[in-house]
Amino acid sequence: MKRSGRGPVGGASEGNRLTLYTDGDAAFEVAYEAIQHARQRVWLEMYILEPDEVGRRLVEALVEAARRGCDVILLFDRFGSYRFRARHAAPIRKAGGRVALYNPLFPWRKMGRKIAPFSHRDHRKILIVDETGFTGGRNISAEYGGPGPERFHDVTLRLEGPCVRDLASVFLDSLYNATRDVPPLPPPPPPYPDGVFVDVLELNARTQERDLDRAIETRIDQARRCCYIATPYFIPPAWFRQALIHAAHRGTDVRILTAGQSDVPHARTAGRHLYGGMLASGARIFEMQDPVLHAKFLTIDGYHSIVGSYNIDQFGGKHNLEVGVAARDPVLARALEAEFHATLDQSIEMTLDAWKRRSPLTRFIQWFLYQLSRI
C-alpha cells in the first residue's frame, strides 16, 4: 500500500470472497441486483459507458438508488464514453446523484477538470455497492452483455470482504484527480473466516505508480508449473515480454491467449511482430477467433491470479489509469484455468514455422505498426 496526498490507495487484506463471472448477461444482472438493493452508496467508474439499452438500464438503476438516498457517483472517461452526453447523465444529477468526467476534452463544461494530455485516460472499471465491489475488463455496453449476442468475451470479478474498501480507495483516487472533491472512505467490511488474501493494485501512468506492474512481474518470476495469460492486445512492455520468456526457459508452461478477430486490427497486426521471440522460447500463443477477446487476466500455478482492466500493453502502461485484483485463491485460479482452456476451443495456435514463413510485405507491415504502437 502506498499513500498519495489524500490517503491510502489500494491495499492487501485477508478474509475475502471472490466470484468470477464469464458471461456478460450474468455479470450485468448481478450488478443490477446489487444496485437495486443498495442502501448506502453506489460508486461507478467506467471507461466506456454507452447510451444503449444496457447503459439506459444502468442509468435507471442509478437514478432509483439516488432517490432512495444512496450516495450515487458516476465517473466516466470522456474519450471512452464520448457518446454518453450530458443529457444522458441529467436524470442522475436531477435525482441527487453526482456525475464527473475524467480528463475531459472541454473542461469548461463543468463536469470535470483537465489534468493531463489527451492521451491520459481512465481505463478502470470499478463498481462499489455498499459492501460489495466489482471489477474486470467489461465496459457498460450491449456489446458486452444484455440483448443479443455478445461481441466481446470478458470476465468480471465480484469482491466481498475487507478488500472492497481497498477497491473503493482506488475509485476515490480517480475521483479526487478528476474533481478534487471526494466523500470519506467507508470502513472495511468484516472479514470472512474462510476468506482469501486479496491485494488491490493500481497503475497510474501520470504519477508513475506501478504497483500492478510490479505484482505481475513478481508472480511471473515465481511461476513454476504454468502461467496462463489472457490479453486482447499483445503489445507487451519489454519487462513483461522478458518475464514470460524467462519463465518459458525455466520449463514453465507459458500460454498466451490474445485476439485473432480484434476491435483494434492494427494492434493485433503489430503484436504479431513479437511472436517469434516468444515462440522460440517455448511459450505458446493462441488467437481467439470468435467472439472478440477482451478479457485481461493471468493465473499461475493453480494458486495466484490477477484480474482487472489492464491489457499489460505498452499504451496502457504509458498513459492509462488501471486497476487489478491479485489473489491467492485456488478456487479462483481453477476457475480462470477452466475459462482459459475453454476458450482455446475457439482459438488457433500460432506456430514458429508459420511465423517464419511470413511474406516480406507482411513482415514490414507488422514491424511498422509495432513501431507506431511504441509512440
Q: Can you give the pLDDT at residue 118?
A: 82
Q: What span, in angstroms and rounded, lies between the C-alpha atoms of 125 and 106? A: 23
Confidence at 116, pLDDT banded by 50, 70, 90: confident
Q: Can you give the pLDDT at residue 107?
A: 59
Q: Can you give the pLDDT at residue 205?
A: 83
Q: Can you give the pLDDT at residue 105?
A: 76
Q: Is the pLDDT at 164 greater than 80, yes or no?
A: yes
Catalogue all structural domains in the chain, each as residue range(s) with its CATH number.
17-195 (3.30.870.10), 201-373 (3.30.870.10)
* CA torsion through residues 67, 68, 70, 72, sign: negative
Q: Is the pLDDT at 243 greater than 90, yes or no?
A: yes
Mean pLDDT of the chain: 94
Q: What is the mean pLDDT of residues 187-199?
A: 97
Q: Can you give the pLDDT at residue 1?
A: 43
Residue pair 237/245 in contact (Cβ under 8 Å)? The answer is no
DSSP annotation of 47 reads S
Q: What is the mean pLDDT of residues 17-42?
A: 97
Strand stretches in 268-361, DSSP E: 284-288, 292-293, 297-300, 304-308, 320-328, 347-349
Q: Which helix (H) or strand (E) holds 89?
A: helix 86-94
DSSP annotation of 109 reads G
Confidence at 65, pLDDT banded by 50, 70, 90: very high
Grid cell listed for 179: 474533481
Q: Can you give the pLDDT at residue 108?
A: 52
Q: Is the pLDDT at 273 greater than 70, yes or no?
A: yes
**98-115: string of b/e by CB count within 10 Å (b at 16+)?**
bbbbbbbeeeeeebbbbe
Q: pLDDT tens digits for 44-60?
A: 999 999 999 999 999 99
Distances in Å between the Cα of 287 and the Cα atoms of 32, 284, 349, 365, 366 are 32, 10, 6, 19, 16
DSSP annotation of 61 reads H
Four-point Cα dihedral 98, 102, 292, 29, nearest 10? -10
Q: Which helix (H) or strand (E) holds 41?
A: strand 41-46
